[in-house]
Structure 1
Amino acid sequence: MRPLCDDESDSPQAITRDYTLDIHDDNGQAPLLSVFGGKLTTYRKLAEHALEKLTPYYKGIGPAWTKTAVLPGGDIGSDRDDYAAKLRRRFSFISESMARHYARTYGSNSELILDKATSLDDLGEHFGHEFFEAELRYLVEHEWVRSLDDAIWRRTKQGMWLNDEQQARISEWLAQHAGKSELSLAS
């Protein structure tokens, strides 16, 4: 969450959704870059401007390159519904809702979750509501998930469907596995 910049408007709806970058350094020490405002739809441009602000502090930051870059998981070749159907054809054991969830949430990175699985059993422990160990492992290995809230609220929204017991089991799993550098379904 980023706070909006106060532009002296009387109405919260009238406050600009533009962003402001503010950089602080203490006599050339490591900088602190604060981001105020902004919209999700401008995240890429915001990131480019943030790197421009940091360039004087870090050698080797090159020019912006993200404008035409595909985001991780974004190389699905079509729309998400078509990609979900492709996942269902390739991994026929997953439900339509799982395929839609994976396509919407992970795009082509879904294949890192499903990998060589040929059945739901190959996805590891089932925590509830179509949330399996393979997805949780992916979140830990690729999205830096370390806590229950990271896993079931910030990344997946599975917390809307998982009961207290299921959430406790995920917490236990994370306590056992989230700090390990390499994970596999056997660990």
Structure 2
Amino acid sequence: MIQTMLVLAVIFIGVAFAVYQVYDIYYSQNVGDDEALAMREGASRASAAESAFAALRGVFPERLVSAAQRDETLSRNPEPLLRRRKSIVLEQGVKIRYLSLWTGRPVAHDWRKALLIVVLVDCLIAMFLGGLSLYTVAYEVPGATFAWMNDPVVILVLLALVILLTHAVAKLDLYLHDLYRIGRLNRYLA
């Protein structure tokens, strides 16, 4: 009985964390970079962007920095360039070093909406698993096919997998969006 209560408490915490992940990815998509840039500099966004561009001038050729200043989103927030500076290659336009031996074009499509939908579906699955764990305290799910639903430990493991998947999708979202924004610099370098 105590083991079941402990597992249910951990499931509750897991569901709460899954809901928090939806908030976290939504927040990072909308204000994350701007706030991080302003907090790092402790000043206004304009002066923070200028100091970030000063740091970029020490890392990238002037041609790339001036292209970033002409881009609407990167001129306000050059954080993607700072985050991905080790993987950016400037040869006949901007290219990305994905692996040590593989260099290719940046991502050409913005995947943010699709990945946010995946995170929302993961959150719904986590809430379903949490509700299922509470349902199976009082009732059993009939049938041999659904016998796994009656075991709170199995539900806990599935919930942990959903949370890990959501975390991986959030990291992938940040990575792909950075590459998408960096790839837009090719318009100004041509």
Query: Given the two structures, how large is their TM-score scaled by the length of structure 2?
Result: 0.28
Q: Which has the higher helix share?
A: 2
Query: Given the two structures, how large is their TM-score scaled by the length of structure 1?
Result: 0.28
Structure of higher CA gyration radius: 2
